[in-house]
Structure formats: C-alpha cells, structure tokens
Amino acid sequence: MDLRTSYQQTSHQLSGHGRRNVGVLQQVFAEVDPNQASDHYGTGEVIARFEQKLAQELGMEDAIFFPSGTMAQQIALRIWADETKNRRVAYHPLCHLEIHEQDGLKELHHLEPILIGDDKRLMTLEEVQALPDIACLLIELPQRELGGYLPPFDELEAISHLCRERGIRLHLDGARLFETLPYYEKTAAEVCALFDSVYVSFYKGIGGIAGAILAGPKPFCAEARVWKRRYGGDLIGLYPYIIPADYYYGLRKDRMASYYEQAKELARRFNALDGVWTTPDVPVTNMFHLHVEGDVEEVSARVQAVQDTTGIGIAGYLVPHDGYCSTEISVGDSVEAIDAPQLNRLFEQFER
C-alpha cells in the first residue's frame, strides 16, 4: 500500500474538513427551497446577494463571483496592467500564477512578471522599494507554498503606502485571507483596505466546493465582468458553487481562531519529536509545513505506520528534500473529531 492509499483509509485526519465528496454538496442543498431560481449569466438574486455581501465584508466597492481564483487573479493583473499601461507585474517566486497555472498570465496576456526575493522566505520591504516601475504588486497572505508565513501588519502597511506613493496597484491573493485574521487581530475589511483589489477562495479554510470572489473598485469590477465573459467564466448558473460558498462561509468564518490555536498546538507537539520540525516554527494561521528527517522511503514508512496504527491521517504525499521530507498540515474541522487520548497515541507512535 502506498502513502496516499494509507491516508485515504484513515478514519480521521489532522488536515481539512473531511472528505471532499458529494455529501459536501448534498448537506448544503438539503435545506434550500427547490423553487429558488438559478443565477443567469452573472445576474439574479443568488449571485448578486452573495457578491454584495462579500463586497461589504471585504470593504470593497464591488465583488464578482468567479469559478476559480486562477481566472480571477489573471484578470485582476491584466486590468491593472491596462490601466497603468505597463506590462510588468511583480510577485513572489512561489506565487500561484508562477507555479500552478501553466503560464496562463504570460500565454493569455503577455504580461511580464518580476519575481521578488527568493523562494525560501517572504519578500521584504527593501525588495519592494527596489522594484522598477510596475503595474501591480501581488502579495499572498499567507504565503502558502512556504507553509503559511505572514509579514508583520506594519510591514504590510508600509508596502501599501509605498505602492500608493508610486502608483503601483496592490493586489491581495487572499485565497486564505480569513485564516490570517486571528493572528493579525483585524477584520477582513481592515486588511483589504491596504489593497486595491482582493481575491478570496471558498474551498480552502472555508471548505466549499469551488469558486472565488474578486473584489475592488466599481470600474475595475465592471471590466472584470467583461473579462469573465471572455474567459468563459460567466456560466449560465454558478449557484452550485455560490450556495455552498455562502453556507460554509457562514459555518466556518468564525472558527478560524480555533483552527489557528489547534495548528499551534499540533506544531508544538511535532517540534517536540526527534528529527521532526515545522515551518513556521509557531504557525501564524491554521497551516504549517511538517518536516521529517530521512529519505522518502523511510519517512513514508514511518508516517504510514502511524496512520495504520492510529487511524489518523497525517500525510497523503511527501515532498523529498536533501535529508528530509515535507508535507502540508492545514487545520479545519477534522481535527476536532480526534479526542485527546487518540492524539496522544499519534505522537507516541510518531516518536518511535
């Protein structure tokens, strides 16, 4: 049996909100009035109401529901590039647009990304200060591919101030924005106030099925709706994603502090084990990277043994590095179903 299968056979998991199965959809729609009308190519009550609600939550003038963040963010950067008549945009080397989108931004829009800093740490204020003229700077909060780091809030404020002085548009990749709020002790609107445009996702910490909101000033959103049509994202009915997004947002937006506390506790216990450590050392959101010394065969056998013995899933995959392997832990509802003795047993087993 491989690690993935071992993980899939566990009854509980440290990460997530449970299995991504059809039940996630059925739970939402069980209570919805069957006569409720579909949205219709971006119009209609079900989409307008959710867009307005999120615009308000994020403190932005307008908001648009998109099938995906990939589509939303490429469009955001394109609009800012057109507005500033500058093809250059800047982001971190581990930005989603750089590593997960098959170069869509370059292939579809011929924008020229500048990668800021290096792929081992967050970008710095000094690096932002040293940027040439660009249309837009994209900042991801938290930086997911590093394990979920956040810059101090006052550094964000300084970056925002700098961008406004220089006429650089500042875009927030807030796929996990809600997950950052307990650490920052800010509302979503207070964080978004530093940015010109914002994307948030509804299937990470929120645990919906798919879909994203892109928010910004009214003229920006008017243009984004045109691009959404051009991309084929303006579906006749997006309600199968919108209604779950709204449902799980209501269910989980106030649980982020609890996920964050539990992530810190899990990281503390992993860091107490020999040859095991996390980044961040102390998490600042619900997520962290877990690192275990050894080559992929050793670590895989070790993790699998724990999973098979305890029934608790830690990892379904490992990323091998020089002398250690890594995986991502992202805390959601699932961990709450694991009681204290089970969790003790997990760490005892992992120690051996």
Q: Can you give the binding site for a second copy, defined by CB under 8 A?
A: 19-26, 29, 32-38, 40, 66-72, 74, 101-104, 107-109, 203, 209-210, 226-227, 229-241, 243
CA dihedral 235, 237, 238, 239 (to 10 degrees): 180
Smallest distance, a second copy to C-beta of residue 348, A: 31
Three-class secondary structure of residue 314 per DSSP? coil
Nearer to a second copy, 20 or 218 (CB): 20
Nearer to a second copy, 172 or 194 (CB): 172
Q: Between vectors from CA 278 to CA 273 and to CA 282, what angle results, nearest 5°?
A: 105
Smallest distance, a second copy to C-beta of residue 6, A: 16
Residues 266 and 342: beta-carbon distance below 8 Å:
no
Smallest distance, a second copy to C-beta of residue 224, A: 12
Which residues are 277's β-sheet partners?
291
Nearer to a second copy, 72 or 191 (CB): 72
Smallest distance, a second copy to C-beta of residue 239, A: 7
Smallest distance, a second copy to C-beta of residue 231, A: 6
Nearer to a second copy, 74 or 285 (CB): 74
Alpha-carbon separation of residue 316 from 1, 17, 201 (angstroms): 12, 15, 23
Residues 54 and 63: beta-carbon distance below 8 Å:
yes
Alpha-carbon separation of residue 14 from 270, 290, 342 (angstroms): 12, 12, 12
Helix axes 256-271, 177-184, angle to 10 degrees: 80
DSSP 253: G
Residues 209 and 241: beta-carbon distance below 8 Å:
yes
Nearer to a second copy, 21 or 340 (CB): 21
Nearer to a second copy, 186 or 225 (CB): 225
| Nearest residue to 76 via CA among 9, 173, 203, 146 | 173
Q: For residues 3 and 301, what is the distance between their CA atoms, to the nearest angstrom?
A: 8
Smallest distance, a second copy to C-beta of residue 72, A: 7
Q: For residues 3 and 303, what is the distance between their CA atoms, to the nearest angstrom?
A: 8
Nearer to a second copy, 191 or 243 (CB): 243
- The enclosing H or E element of 156 equals helix 153-166
Nearer to a second copy, 103 or 133 (CB): 103
Smallest distance, a second copy to C-beta of residue 218, A: 18
Smallest distance, a second copy to C-beta of residue 113, A: 14
